[in-house]
Amino acid sequence: MTTVLLVGTGEVGVRAARQLVDTPGLDRLRIASRDPQRAVDLVEAMGERAEPFGEGADRPPVVPGDVAAVAVATVMPNARGWVRAAVEAGVPVAVVGDDGFGELEAVAVSHAASVVTGCGLAPGLTEVLARHAADAFDVVDEVHVARVGAAGDACIEAVREARRGTPGEWRDNTWQTDRAFGPELLWFPEPIGVRECQLVRSGVGACVATVPSAGHVTSRLGVQPNTGRFRRGLGRDPKDQGWGAARVEVVGRRNGTAGSIVYGVVDRTAVVTGVVLAVVVAGMAGAVDAGVAAPAGVRTLGEVVMPVPYLTELARRGVKAAVFEGVVPH
Which pLDDT belongs to residue 202? 86
How would you write the pLDDT of the chain (330 residues) with one tens digit per residue? Answer: 899 999 999 999 999 999 999 999 999 999 999 888 999 999 999 999 999 997 555 567 889 889 999 999 998 788 999 999 999 999 999 999 888 798 999 999 999 999 999 999 999 999 999 999 999 999 999 999 999 987 666 666 667 776 777 778 899 889 887 665 678 899 898 888 889 998 998 889 999 999 999 999 999 998 755 444 433 333 334 444 588 999 999 999 999 999 999 999 999 999 999 999 999 999 999 999 999 999 999 999 999 999 999 999 999 999 999 887 654 444
* CATH architecture of the domain with range 125-269: 2-Layer Sandwich (3.30)
Cis-peptide, bond into residue 123, ω within 30° of zero: yes
Cβ-contact 206, 300 below 8 angstroms: yes
**What pLDDT was estimated at residue 314?**
97
- For the chain, residues classed under CATH 3.30.360.10 are 125-269
Distance CA 304, CA 293 (A): 5
The predicted pLDDT at position 238 comes to 44
In CATH terms, the fold of domain 3-120+275-307 is: Rossmann fold (3.40.50)
The answer to whether 32 touches 58, Cβ cutoff 8 Å, is no
Dist. CA 118–CA 146, nearest whole Å: 15
Select from 54, 14, 23, 42 the least CA-distant residue to 279: 23
- Label the pairing between strands 216-222 and 194-200: antiparallel
| From-to residues of CATH 3.40.50.720 in the chain | 3-120+275-307
What is the pLDDT at residue 228?
42
pLDDT at 299: 96
Compute the radius of gyration of the chain from its Cα atoms: 19
Contact 278, 71 (CB under 8 A): yes
DSSP 8-state assignment for residue 328: P
Q: Is the dihedral of CA 187, 193, 194, 195 positive or negative?
A: negative
Q: What pLDDT is stored for residue 76 in this prediction?
A: 76
